[in-house]
Structure 1
């Protein structure tokens, strides 16, 4: 089958059709998808009809899938560890009232890249809509390749070789969670270049987000201003678009050349059931890794205010 591409903006984002994502794809069809991703950064697939099992199977075409930490005695809402629960629901499928889960999810409405707080970065995220609110709840995307290319040369020179320090708990603090900076400093952080060459396209891209708290070697205030200025630059109208969801829609984005954020909706009264697979950078299709994912160690040290372990068993 042949992939059909309808660009959303001249340089960024495309709506794709023509492939049946519910069945195994040929190597040529997989290549068509990856070529589209390298060009457009975000691809939107409407009304896929995918099940959880098909979602996971399709995602494996692109590399090793990160897994939700297994916790003894903790019931999970979703049937596969490869599915991250990006919903506002508890384990029983009802809207969560758990304060920690609500506080944690606020960070999703900031511009971010998935798993930037881990030493092993995420390449593709594949988000499938199962239930969506009638109003709001869209997802916004930003083009960090074009944003970098349009920077003044003076800024590009300043960014050369600079390393960002990333923390999950920093983004949660920025979203309003009362986490002391001392608590953040006691917990794991990840170092990543602020600018890197995007492997699939050969273009340079910014790698910044709400998780980026400091710039290595820079004064904290100066580094944080630089981060804020770069995010503001990359999220100007000419670099962004939003996706309005319907059940069955799948959106794939490349975290190594984009940022994204969730749109606001009536979180307390309307269900939004979204399920995400995430592909580890640099891994091969269907690759398997042994041992537990590093997420287990990360979430074992979650600050109490955003420790969502109890939310997975129905709330406190």
Structure 2
């Protein structure tokens, strides 16, 4: 079968069809999928028919899948550790009313890249819709390659060698969680260049988002002002689009050339069940026996964040 591609923006995003993702792909079909990702950065597949097992198996085509930390004695809602729970549901499938969980999820409404706060970055994220609200709950995407390319040359010269400092707890603090600067500074941070060359396309891209709390070698406020300026630039209307979800839709995005954020919806009364696999950068072909750095990340949690109730699987 042949992949059909319909671009959304001139340089970013595409609706894809023509392949049955529930079945194993041939080498040529897989090449078509990755080729579309390299070119468009975000690919939308409607009404895929994928179940949890097929979602995980399809995702393995692209590399090692990160896994949810194991917690002794705690039940999990989803059947595979490779599925990150990006829903507003309890382990029993009810809409959560827990204040900590609701507060934690507010960070998803900020422009971010998945797992930028980890030393080993995420490449693809593959998000599958199982239940969607009738109103709201869309996902927005931003083109960080075109945004970089359109910067003035003097700005490119300023940022090309800069290193960003990234923290999960910084983005949660920005979203309103009561976490002190001292608590953020005391916990895991990851350093990544804020400009890098995207391997699949050879194009340079920004790598910034809500997790980026500072820039190495710059005063704190100066660095944060620069980060805000770059995010504001990359999220102008010409670089962004939104996806309105239907049950069965799968969206694949490349975190190394995009940012995304969740849209608002009535979190306390409308069910939204979204499940995500995430591929670790540089792990092609798939390797099964890698470490689980998320367990280390969540070994030191700010007291104000009840991670058991907030269900960290949706980061």
TM-score w.r.t. length of structure 1:
0.97
**Residue 32 of structure 2 corresponds to which residue in structure 1?**
32
Contact 1:90 1:96 (C-alpha < 8 Å) held by counterparts: yes
Partner of 1:45: 45
- Structure 1 counterpart of 2:194: 194
Post-superposition CA distance 1:25-77 (Å, at most 9, x none): 11111110000000000000000000000000000000000000001001000
Deviation, structure 1 residue 286: 2.6
Q: Deviations over 1:98-145 (max 9, x none)?
A: 222111110000000000000000000000000000000000000000
Paired position in structure 2 for 1:127: 127
The SS at the match of 2:31 is helix
Does 2:211 align with 1:185? no
Determine the structure 1 residue equivalent to 2:301: 302
Contact 2:102–2:310 (8 Å) recurs in 1: no
Provide the C-alpha distance between the structure 1 equivalents of 2:305 and 2:248, rounded to a whole number of angstroms: 30
CA distance in 2, matches of 1:240, 1:25: 30
Equivalence for 1:147: 147
1:133-182 per-residue CA deviation (whole Å, 9 max, x = no partner) reads 00000000000000000000010000021000000000000001010000
- Aligned to 2:192, the other structure's residue is in SS state strand
Q: Does 2:81 correspond to 1:81?
A: yes
| Structure 2: gaps of 5 or more residues | none
Q: Which residue number corresponds to residue 64 of structure 1?
A: 64
2:304 partner SS: helix
Structure 1: where are the runs of 5+ without partners? none
Task: Write the distance in 2 (CA, Å) between the matches of 1:47 and 1:224.
Answer: 41
Question: How far apart, in 2, do the equivalents of 1:195 and 1:134 lie?
Answer: 38
| Contact 2:159/2:194 (<8 A) preserved | yes
Aligned partner of residue 8 in structure 1, secondary structure: strand
- Count of paired positions: 312
Partner of 1:210: 210
How many angstroms apart in 1 are the aligned matches of 2:17 and 2:72?
41
- Following superposition, the deviation at residue 188 of structure 1 comes to 0.5
In 2, the alpha carbon distance for the partners of 1:187 and 1:308 equals 15
For 2:56 and 2:121, locate their aligned partners in 1 and report how far apart those are by CA, in whole Å: 19
Deviation for aligned residue 1:311: 4.7
Question: Is the partner of 1:238 in helix, strand or coil?
Answer: helix
TM-score (norm 2): 0.98
- Inter-partner Cα distance in structure 2 for 1:302 and 1:15: 39
Instruction: Provide the rounded CA distance (Å) in 2 between the counterparts of 1:170 and 1:113.
Output: 14
Other structure's SS at 2:125 match: strand
Task: Specify the SS of the correspondent of 2:47.
Answer: coil
Instruction: Say which is worse superposed, 90-99 or 239-248, in terms of deviation.
Output: 90-99
How far does residue 304 in structure 1 lie from its aligned partner after superposition?
2.2
For 1:211 and 1:172, locate their aligned partners in 2 and report how far apart those are by CA, in whole Å.
8
Partners of 1:105 and 1:226 lie apart in 2 by 25
Preserved contact between residue 75 and residue 91 of structure 1 (Cα < 8 Å) = yes
CA distance in 2, matches of 1:185, 1:208: 18
Moved over 4 A (4+): none
